[in-house]
Amino acid sequence: MREITYREALREALSEEIERDENVVILGEEVAQYNGAYKVTQGLWEKYGDKRVVDTPISEAGFIGMGIGASMLGIRPVMELMFWSFAYVAWDQILNNAAMVRYMSGGQINCPIVIRGPANGGTNVGATHSHTPENFIANTAGLKVVCPATAYDAKGLMKAAIRDNDPVYVMENTLLYGMKGDVPEEDYVIPIGKADIKREGTDLSIICHGRAVLTSLKAAEELEAKHGIHAEVLDLRSIRPLDEQAIIESVRKTNRALLVEENKPFAGVGAQIAHLIQWNCFDYLDAPIARVSAIDAPAIYSKPLEDFQLPTPERVLEAALKLCQ
- Pairwise CA distance, residues 151 & 177, whole Å: 8
Q: Known catalytic residues?
A: 60, 129
- Asked whether the predicted pLDDT for residue 1 surpasses 90, the reply is no
Measured distance CA(73)–CA(80) in Å, rounded: 20
Q: What are 75-89's pLDDT values in tens digits?
A: 999 999 999 999 999
Residue 100 has a pLDDT of: 96
Q: Tens digits of per-residue pLDDT, 190-212?
A: 999 999 999 999 999 999 999 99
Percent of the chain exceeding pLDDT 90 equals 99
For 33-68, write each residue's pLDDT tens digit: 999 999 999 999 999 999 999 999 999 999 999 999
Residue among 41, 126, 122, 129 at smallest CA distance from 87: 129
Domains belonging to the chain, first-starting first, are 2-183 (3.40.50.970), 196-323 (3.40.50.920)
User: What is the mean pLDDT of the segment spanning 170-184?
Assistant: 97
Average pLDDT score, the chain: 97
Q: What is the per-residue pLDDT for 138?
A: 96
Question: What is the average per-residue pLDDT within 288-307?
Answer: 95
Length of the chain measured in residues:
325
Cα–Cα separations (whole angstroms), residue 194 to 157, 244, 245: 10, 9, 9
pLDDT at 83: 95
